Amino acid sequence: MLVFAISDKGGTGRSVTSSNIVYRRALQGQDVCYLDFDFGSPTVGAIFRVSGAARGTLKGGLHRYLEGEIAEPTRIDVWVESDRDALRSKPPGAGQMVLFPGDEGGAEFPTFEGEMVERCVRLFAKLQEQFDLVMVDLSAGRSHAALLALAATARLPKIPCRWLVFHRWTRQHILAADGLVTGTHGLLDAGEAHGHHRALLADRIRFVRTAVLDPGAAELDGLRDTQKTWLSEFDRELRELASRHGVGRTSMLGKVPLDPVLQWREQLITDEDVQGTMIANVETVVAFDELAKKIVDDAAWEGL
Amino acid sequence: MLIMGEVRTGLLQNSAEVPESDLSSVLGLLAGERVRISRRPILHALSPDLLTGVDCLLPSAAQAKIRGVGTVVSRCSITGGRVVQSSSYVRVTKAETGHRLPWSHYLARPGVIEVLGKAAAADLADGFLAFGLPGEHLDVGSISDRLMDTVQAAESLDRASPFRSTQTRLRWVAASGEPGVRFVLGEGVERRVRITYEGEFSTAVLDLCEDLALHDWLLTTLLVIVERARIGAAPRAEVSARLAPAVDALLHLWMPGARIHPSLAPLWESLELAPGFTRQWQSLVERVRDQFAVNTLALLLRETNPV
């Protein structure tokens, strides 16, 4: 299955959340891979702590593959090449976890042509053959990478594909997420222009809320009562706003709680981080685990 | 003369076995040319040969600049309606002139690359088996790969294979001499084979390489399935569910040497002694079947002695 991670704004935690979903899915025993289509700032190597690809690779990454300069993009086996001890040995029963980095010094494509779509189609088809989950991390906003993904998936109707739109739990982010999907030149417009059926594509899009502060959470006990009341009310307002804009509960796949670790350092949260050093919250891992299951759970994707 | 080629082997992207009636359309890569189908001892379909013109540097272990011009021959096959192979090879010879001739010259010699200038066969063979030396070289693997993608994209395939799997790449070089074969398992998906054969080169050598690649892929794929089933660690029902695709799709495909010319049979036999493909396969198959037997027994016992 192909899964595309997209967000309208930067700083939504799209890359770190989708990386963690991929990691959880691998721990659940599935073969997964992660494609860094954020060509302007290839940083995903840093999240997986692969030093050779912290800012993209120099050996020929996705950018150069799509440009037709190399026959195959570099692949990195995270279980072998990560610098983090917790990631460097594959737990029993875990699946493959492979990273396809962008190129160091790469840039967004100014445009794309038919040959590039063809190469993208071949790549997706080949990865689908090998991996249960192919996560493609697209850059923020309406990028050519996203259009390329839409054009390529339109030519692969037999391969199941899903879109995750990441947004933070704020007024601006909710409006922006809705705009990215339904607005002019949004995903649905662009998808239709590239040969997707509008309603079918809409059924394949779900929202993921990130850095969500739960007004009822135990950590908020220290807040003043006025602050708590305000949080609850504002949360309700946001929920109303979200549902008016089709970003509400029914179209939401999941939410990730605010976790200081993710705010300060974009990283994979391992069980060691939760149970050993206890720097991360168990709720965060539960959220990732659940998202990793829901992505492939057809019940969560029934037509709205 | 040196012959070098690469075989890519993978699982055909279809949920069920592709029936004989569909094989021609899946492999119908060249209009007007027939797909050859044989039914015994196993269903096997072979595409017509395709030619790709090349004018490029050849891989050299010594990093020498060796230019070759000619054509690469490729073909695709499907075994048992399940396993697809794409194979490309060239015969490297010395050109009679030091410059490139009109294409009609090369088209009259399908599958031959003529080297303009000096080249040593051993240097070319080592360079080729190194898999991806730095720089741009003749990459027969890419030609195979493209062909493979075309087959996998066939209209009649549903792209919903029963399990995920990895393609393997087997590079081989062949030269005439005292008959022998050496198989080296590389890191990841790469395999290297050196063959020496008696007399003239024929496509029987190619058949042998493809058969070797097929069985190496079957073994590699079954090993992964068994490893991932976590026998002894995961609950029995789960283990059985993970092993089931192997029973459905793979176990009956093992037929080493079935499509080999008798003159090359001793080469297969020598590989059976070391590394011993069938020995390992047999032990894996028994392991899989034992798991099902044990699981069935456990279910029966639970039925007769409910807790």
Burial class (CB in 10 A: 0-12, 13-18, 19+), B142: middle
Confidence (pLDDT) at B293: 92
Residue A304 lies in a domain: no
Query: Are B32 and B143 in a shared domain?
Result: yes
Confidence (pLDDT) at B31: 74
Residue B181 lies in a domain: no
Residue B210 lies in a domain: no
Range of B226's domain? 219-304
Please indicate whether residue A258 or residue B284 has the higher confidence score (pLDDT).
B284
* H or E stretch covering A100: strand A97-100
DSSP letter assigned to residue A70: S
Question: A29: which chain B residues are within 8 Å (Cβ-Cβ)?
Answer: 228
pLDDT at A85 over 70: yes
Q: Do B153 and A128 touch (CB under 8 A)?
A: no
pLDDT level of residue A99 (50, 70, 90 thresholds): very high
Confidence (pLDDT) at B7: 98
Give the pLDDT confidence of B202-248 residue by residue, as tens digits: 999 999 999 999 999 999 999 999 998 989 888 998 999 999 999 99
pLDDT level of residue A279 (50, 70, 90 thresholds): confident
Q: Do B164 and A159 touch (CB under 8 A)?
A: no
Instruction: Find out whether the peptide bond into B110 is cis, omega within 30 degrees of 0.
Output: no
Q: Which residues pair with A77 in a beta bridge?
A: A98
Residue A186 lies in a domain: yes
Question: Which residues have a Cβ under 8 Å from the Cβ of A249 and sit 6 or more positions away?
Answer: A239, A242, A243
Give the pLDDT confidence of A185-226 residue by residue, as tens digits: 999 999 999 999 999 999 999 999 998 888 777 777 788 888
- Among residues B165, B180, B211, which one ends one of the domains? B165
Domain count, chain B: 2
| Mean pLDDT, residues B151-173 | 95
Confidence (pLDDT) at A158: 95
Residue B54 lies in a domain: yes
- Among residues B165, B182, B200, which one ends one of the domains? B165
Residue A32 lies in a domain: yes
pLDDT at A114 over 90: no
Total residue length of chain A: 304
What is the distance in angstroms between the Cα of A125 and the nearest Cα belonging to chain B? 8
Please indicate whether residue B214 or residue B294 has the higher confidence score (pLDDT).
B214
Residue B107 lies in a domain: yes
CB contact at 8 A, A6 and A201: no
Question: B152: which chain A residues are within 8 Å (Cβ-Cβ)?
Answer: 125, 129
pLDDT at A147 over 80: yes
Residue whose tokens read 């739109």: A165
pLDDT at A10 over 90: no
- Average confidence score pLDDT of chain A: 89
Please tell me the distance from the alpha carbon of residue B37 to that of residue B17, in angstroms, as a whole number.
15
Please tell me the distance from the alpha carbon of residue A29 to that of residue A93, in angstroms, as a whole number.
6
Interchain contact B187–A (C-beta under 8 A) = no
Residue B182 lies in a domain: no
Report the SS3 class of residue A183.
coil
Domain count, chain A: 1
Query: Are B83 and B229 in a shared domain?
Result: no
Tell me the two tokens of residue A224.
């003043």
Please tell me the distance from the alpha carbon of residue A95 to that of residue B163, in angstroms, as a whole number.
13
Question: B13: which chain A residues are within 8 Å (Cβ-Cβ)?
Answer: 125, 128-129
Range of A150's domain? 2-297
Single-letter residue type at A206: R
| Mean pLDDT, residues A269-294 | 88
Distances (CA, A) of A103 to A122, A179, B8, B284: 19, 30, 27, 41
In total, the C-beta contacts within 8 angstroms joining chain A to chain B are: 41
Q: Which string of DSSP letters, residue by residue, matches B160-224?
A: --SS----EEEEEEEEESS-EEEEEE-STTEEEEEEEESSS--HHHHHHHHHHHHHHHHHHHHHH
CB contact at 8 A, A203 and A304: yes
Instruction: Kindly give the residue spans of alpha helices, DSSP state H, lying in chain A.
Output: 14-27, 44-47, 62-67, 78-81, 114-130, 144-154, 171-182, 187-193, 198-203, 225-244, 260-264, 271, 282-294
- Average confidence score pLDDT of chain B: 93
Interchain contact B142–A (C-beta under 8 A) = yes
Question: Which residues have a Cβ under 8 Å from the Cβ of B240 and sit 6 or more positions away?
Answer: B291, B292, B295
Residue A123 lies in a domain: yes
Residue A302 lies in a domain: no
Residue A45 lies in a domain: yes
Q: Do B167 and A125 touch (CB under 8 A)?
A: no
Tell me the two tokens of residue B193.
């084979």
Q: Do B139 and A158 touch (CB under 8 A)?
A: no
Burial class (CB in 10 A: 0-12, 13-18, 19+), B118: exposed
Instruction: State the virtual CA torsion across B227, B232, B236, B241 in degrees, nearest 10.
Output: 0
| Mean pLDDT, residues A149-163 | 96
Phi and psi, residue A237, nearest 5° = -60, -45
Interchain contact B166–A (C-beta under 8 A) = yes
Residue whose tokens read 């017509």: B48
pLDDT level of residue A273 (50, 70, 90 thresholds): confident
pLDDT at A164 over 90: yes
Please tell me the distance from the alpha carbon of residue A233 to that of residue A211, in angstroms, as a whole number.
18
| Mean pLDDT, residues B282-289 | 96
Query: Are B161 and B225 in a shared domain?
Result: no
Query: Are B152 and B235 in a shared domain?
Result: no
What are the residues of chain A with a beta carbon less than 8 Å away from any beta carbon of chain B?
29, 31, 71, 92-93, 95, 122, 125-126, 128-132, 156, 158-159
Pairing of strands A2-7, A97-100: unpaired
Share of chain A above pLDDT 70, in %: 99
Report the SS3 class of residue A192.
helix
Smallest Cβ–Cβ distance between B164 and the set A31, A122, A159 belongs to A31
CB contact at 8 A, B92 and B113: yes
Please tell me the distance from the alpha carbon of residue A252 to that of residue A304, in angstroms, as a whole number.
11
| CA quadruple A26, A89, A76, B87: dihedral sign | negative
Q: Which long-range contacts does A285-290 make (Cβ < 8 Å, 24+ apart)? A: A285/A24, A287/A254, A287/A255, A287/A256, A287/A257, A288/A17, A288/A20, A288/A21, A288/A23, A288/A24, A288/A256, A289/A24, A289/A28, A290/A254
Share of chain A above pLDDT 90, in %: 52
Nearest of B136, B11, B152 to residue A123 by alpha carbon = B152
Interchain contact B165–A (C-beta under 8 A) = yes
Across A142-151, A157-166, A248-257, least confident range: A248-257
Share of chain B above pLDDT 70, in %: 99
Q: Do B153 and A125 touch (CB under 8 A)?
A: yes
Question: A2: which chain B residues are within 8 Å (Cβ-Cβ)?
Answer: none
Please tell me the distance from the alpha carbon of residue B29 to that of residue B182, in angstroms, as a whole number.
33
Give the pLDDT confidence of B176-208 residue by residue, as tens digits: 999 999 999 988 899 999 999 998 999 999 999
CB contact at 8 A, A293 and A28: yes
Smallest Cβ–Cβ distance between A158 and the set B11, B149, B158 belongs to B158
pLDDT level of residue B307 (50, 70, 90 thresholds): low
Residue B147 lies in a domain: yes
Optimal mutation site among A129, A130, A134, interface B, most CBs of chain B within 10 A: A129
Pairing of strands B83-94, B2-11: antiparallel
Please indicate whether residue A17 or residue B132 has the higher confidence score (pLDDT).
A17
pLDDT at A304 over 60: no
CB contact at 8 A, A46 and A266: yes
Question: A125: which chain B residues are within 8 Å (Cβ-Cβ)?
Answer: 13, 149, 152-153, 159
Smallest Cβ–Cβ distance between B10 and the set A95, A128, A129 belongs to A129
Give the pLDDT confidence of B254-272 residue by residue, as tens digits: 999 988 999 999 999 999 9
List the CATH number of the domain containing A32: 3.40.50.300
Region of B80 please: left (phi>0), alpha (psi -120 to 50) or beta: left
